[in-house]
Amino acid sequence: MPFFSQTGEILGSFALSHRTSCAPLPYHHQLLRTAAHLASIATEHSRSMAQLQHQANHDVLTGLSNRTVLLNRIRQQFERREPTPFAVLFLDVDHFKLINDSWGHGVGDQLLVAIARRLTHYLDHRALVARLGGDEFAVVLDHSRSPAQVLALAEQLVQVLGGMFAIGDREIFAAASVGIAYSSDRHQDPEAILREADIAMYWAKQHPTGAKVAVFDQTMHEQVLNRLALETGLRQAVRGLERNQRQVRALPGENHNHQLRLYYQPIVELKTRAIIGFEALLRWWHPERGEISPELFIPVAEETGLILPLGSWVLQEAIQQLQQWHGHLGQSSLIMSINVSGRQLFQVDFPDQVQQLLEQTQVPPACIKLEITETVLMGASTAITQRLEALRALGVHLSLDDFGTGYSSLSYLHRFPVNTLKIDRLFVMGLVPEQDQLTRTMVALSHGLGLVAIAEGIETEGQLAQLTAMDCEYGQGFLFSKPVNRVEAEALLWGSGVGD
């Protein structure tokens, strides 16, 4: 007699046998029915308990072990008291929020499942792989691996998790950063070593060399504390901006008592050295630490979302400043180049923000250049492309910043409505007559596509001469001027011919 689950699934069957051949009596049938019913209840209960146990120990999305199992494994490793240390790896998917914002959370979830699959396929049975939540994973390795082997494995994981993932009909680029922490006598609980691996991962992610893998040491802890202090200070500075915007506005650029200010670096026509415009650059003067490099605070702003109020303020301030220069100084052809974050482009109403500012100020749209990095275009979704098209439809010019430093592809130049290529300073700094072919090719490429070329980081007369000989039209750099405040920028305008 079969017995069933509550949904009608066959769970098993009972058979009744007797020592001698005889016809079953009614109570035999009743016995089978009772046994089948009890077996059904017991089997369902056992399956439910197993399912609950699995859910308690595994991540629902990926099926990997969860944080509870991970911490238990680390605790067990501590209790073994082996003479050699074991390692904990903390993995984080780079720019995962951008992937979610661009493609949607469904695609993001599928990417996490694909990453989990690669991890489990690559690592052997001695390693425990867990998902901690979001885009964070951890791996516990036993004592059998040496530090050199652990480091090599971490670097291999970066390679395994880097590159393109086929998600449905899309290809999504992903990359990962890995932090490593080793067990030691200073660890009192599993959370401590996991926290150290997390700190090392953050250090790897932020390190300017792009190392992608880092091993924890005590100096990293101090760096993380400094980073938290930097974030706190930046939040306070942004709140100050917002308070200022609620008050009666001072003239753009005149609020020099505020921590955050705009500076302007001239963009010149190389053949005449005439200033044709400026790039607006955000600067931060901390009340205690003094000037803080944008290379330090811009990544923090991106990670925390503070780039949105900052970017909005920069856009408004720069366009209003250009309005003043057009009207008060009579420089009607002067352009303003403004950096735009990928986070800003993810805002549905970003083109509307730009349009509103143009209507309020009556600045000609063609006098505004919005600079976008290759990284943003690399992960651009259909929605981002539509926003870029909407900006171009307003008459605003789009500039591809840092061209050549990232994942350069001619497809970007065909797919997206850019007007200008900005050649990164790396290709200008190393300019020597016998090694200028790459820079020459970039300039020729821009001309062949009908784009304007602007070279960044020009510091010597020799670099200027070479770029001019290549027919590079425009440039900027310390040879002409460092970034300056509004008053100094106006002095430069008075002292130099402007490309009117």
Q: Which of 37, 40, 172 is nearest to 104 (CA)?
A: 172
Amino acid (1-letter code) at residue 92: D
Q: Which of 199, 70, 182, 76 is nearest to 137 (CA)?
A: 70
Residue 290's CB: how many other CB atoms inside 10 A? 8
**What CATH architecture applies to the domain 67-218?**
2-Layer Sandwich (3.30)
Measured distance CA(173)–CA(379) in Å, rounded: 7
DSSP for 205-260 reads: HH-TT---EEE--HHHHHHHHHHHHHHHHHHHHHHHHHHHHHSPPPPTT--TTSSE
Domain 251-495 fold is: TIM Barrel (3.20.20)
Measured distance CA(370)–CA(392) in Å, rounded: 10
Domain ranges of the chain: 2-57, 67-218, 251-495
CA atoms within 13 A on the CB side of 292: 23
Say if CB 260 and CB 252 are below 8 A apart: no
**What is the sign, positive or negative, of the torsion defined by CA atoms of 41, 46, 47, 52?**
positive
Q: Helices 382-394 and 350-361 meet at what angle, rounded to 10?
A: 10
- Give, rounded to a whole angstrom, the gap between the first and last alpha carbons of the chain: 96
DSSP for 254-317 reads: --TTSSEEEEEEEEEETTT--EEEEEEEEEEEETTTEEE-HHHHHHHHHHHTTHHHHHHHHHHH
Measured distance CA(245)–CA(234) in Å, rounded: 17
pLDDT tens sequence for the chain (500 residues): 676 676 777 777 767 676 777 777 776 777 777 777 777 777 776 766 666 666 677 899 999 999 999 999 999 999 888 888 999 999 999 888 888 887 888 999 999 999 999 999 999 888 999 999 999 999 999 988 999 999 999 999 999 998 889 998 888 889 999 999 999 877 778 999 999 999 999 889 877 566 799 999 988 888 888 888 999 999 999 998 877 766 545 444 445 448 999 999 999 999 999 999 999 999 999 988 999 999 999 989 988 889 999 999 999 999 999 999 998 877 788 999 999 998 898 888 999 999 999 999 999 999 999 999 877 776 656 778 889 999 999 999 999 887 766 555 566 676 778 899 999 888 888 776 666 788 888 899 889 889 999 999 999 999 999 999 999 999 999 999 999 999 999 999 887 644 44
Measured distance CA(400)–CA(415) in Å, rounded: 12
Measured distance CA(157)–CA(161) in Å, rounded: 6
Q: For position 208, what pLDDT does the model report?
A: 58
Radius of gyration of the chain measured on its C-alpha atoms: 31
Q: For position 141, what pLDDT does the model report?
A: 95
Rounded to an integer, what is the distance from CA 120 to the centroid of its chain?
A: 25
Q: Which of 142, 132, 139 is nearest to 154 (CA)?
A: 139
Report the predicted TM-score, pTM, of the whole model to 2 decimal places.
Answer: 0.68
Say if CB 345 and CB 376 are below 8 A apart: yes
